Structure 1
């Protein structure tokens, strides 16, 4: 498989994807809420041991536009991922997704089980109703700051409001100054699709719920949680590991929502060991 940056026609649009590294194929499942699939350059270290495959959802990064509103949803993203796998001639690949990328990874695995070699879900949840135990929960210590921030940015345009919200709130989801600097840099520079985000909030949060289907996952699965995650409660990682048959749970005690920023050596070692053995 050639390394590089490519464009794949898919029905009424096109998908920009990249291939880097050598070894067993590993797809980094993107989120569907409005950003491209390449912003986490810190994941490039995985290309030292795997063939790393990333793609931009329609309407983000180098991919083509969305032609129908429903194409913003995870089901279309799953179809595009499967089209990419077929195009690349990959029989089976491993899938890793973090946060809402975990939603993509779970839905792809459930839809195309025979094509999933292994599954890694990081700091995610099996439902869009995951607010309990997070900064959106009135019982959480960060809730007053969340409310204050929401009021401060209320009058901004949607895309700028979401960008500033993410830059501010994610500062509480990492544990080191270096990680905070990385979060600020990435969310300041990443282009953002406001229509995708609006669809995610109005449609996907209500639609997405795979809790009753986790027992159907029949591939080796690694669930990674961050003990200090304030965006998605680590209890959801425990729940997923309990419900997916044979799943392994790794709770990273020094991490928030982004373990590869807080504990990079431990995170990459854990992922590599799981995928290689």
Structure 2
């Protein structure tokens, strides 16, 4: 991996965002999913060879402290953190890449500040916000021959029944059992990547990500996406049994100028399963 340097940037409520820069070339701000710290993004399958990746830790993860007010874990506040990085960088507009839940944050930021985003990349966007997702069950069923399939189905049922009274240990145990479905394969590389997730993930941030928990909340923000003039690339993994492929089509349809590319053999973390396939698609888009 390319050499990294560590920094902090003060955001709107005084929180110090911890971030690092990796690689060289034009800057690309990475918005992590989870919410979690940014280490799991690695160098995005070698994308740091052509770009300077600005990789920051979400609130309450990694080197970024938790907010005093849990309401500031909600994605509209997280979108304001992206602008704090832009201000810190001293530039009028930035290229932004958001992964999973970070795709929501990046999209909301672009919708609110369309003049501050030059190019937007949304990786593995979820159907809860953007729509789609009807293919998740089929994508999982296609892998019914895998030795982990029974455990994953059982964990999915447990997660569906989990509520606010569930302990962090119970939720993390279920997530651990479900995680093979998030990858295009379940080999040594994927296992090593998955093994780091528990220490990076913030269950508290996850609970408050949607604010008041009202799933109609996206309706406040989705109309703004139609006003984003920047070119948009939506990337999914063709084997992503976590958020699916159809969510990529639904996401791209929200923007005036967007295309959807699905990476063969990849799951929810396409830079892990097919690093060159992923990084080449993103680098080509950013170079236009």
| Same-fold call, TM cutoff 0.5 | yes
Which residue number in structure 2 is paired with residue 78 of structure 1?
A: 79
CA distance change for structure 1 residues 204 and 42 in 2, over 3 Å: closer, same or farther? farther
Residue ranges of structure 2 left out of the alignment (5+ in a row)? none
Equivalent of 2:18 in 4, 7, 16 = 16
Which residue number in structure 1 is paired with residue 51 of structure 2?
A: 50
Per-residue Cα deviation, 1:37-79 (whole angstroms, up to 9, x for no partner): 2332242722221111011122211112311121111111111
Contact 1:135 1:146 in 2 (8 A): no
Contact 2:75 2:210 in 1 (8 A): no
Which residue number in structure 1 is paired with residue 42 of structure 2?
A: 41
> Mean Cα displacement is larger for which, 8-17 or 109-118?
8-17
Contact 1:7 1:15 in 2 (8 A): yes
The 3-state SS of whatever aligns with 1:203 is coil
TM-score w.r.t. the length of structure 2 is 0.82
Q: Report the Cα offset of residue 243 of structure 1.
A: 3.4
Which residue number in structure 1 is paired with residue 126 of structure 2?
A: 125
Q: Report the Cα offset of residue 16 of structure 1.
A: 0.8
Cα distance in 1, alignment partners of residues 61 and 156 from structure 2: 29
CA distance change for structure 1 residues 136 and 90 in 2, over 3 Å: closer, same or farther? farther
Question: Does 2:145 align with 1:134?
Answer: no
Question: Does 2:206 align with 1:197?
Answer: yes
Contact 2:132 2:246 in 1 (8 A): no
Question: Does 2:188 align with 1:186?
Answer: no
> Mean Cα displacement is larger for which, 74-83 or 238-247?
238-247
CA distance change for structure 1 residues 203 and 120 in 2, over 3 Å: closer, same or farther? same
The 3-state SS of whatever aligns with 1:243 is coil
The 3-state SS of whatever aligns with 1:208 is helix
Cα distance in 1, alignment partners of residues 231 and 161 from structure 2: 45
Cα distance in 2, alignment partners of residues 215 and 12 from structure 1: 31
Contact 2:226 2:255 in 1 (8 A): yes
Which residue number in structure 2 is paired with residue 234 of structure 1?
A: 245
Q: Report the Cα offset of residue 36 of structure 1.
A: 1.2
Cα distance in 2, alignment partners of residues 227 and 7 from structure 1: 36
Q: Report the Cα offset of residue 263 of structure 1.
A: 1.2
Cα distance in 1, alignment partners of residues 85 and 213 from structure 2: 23
Q: Report the Cα offset of residue 84 of structure 1.
A: 1.6
The 3-state SS of whatever aligns with 2:76 is helix
Which residue number in structure 2 is paired with residue 223 of structure 1?
A: 234
Q: Report the Cα offset of residue 233 of structure 1.
A: 2.3
Which residue number in structure 2 is paired with residue 115 of structure 1?
A: 116
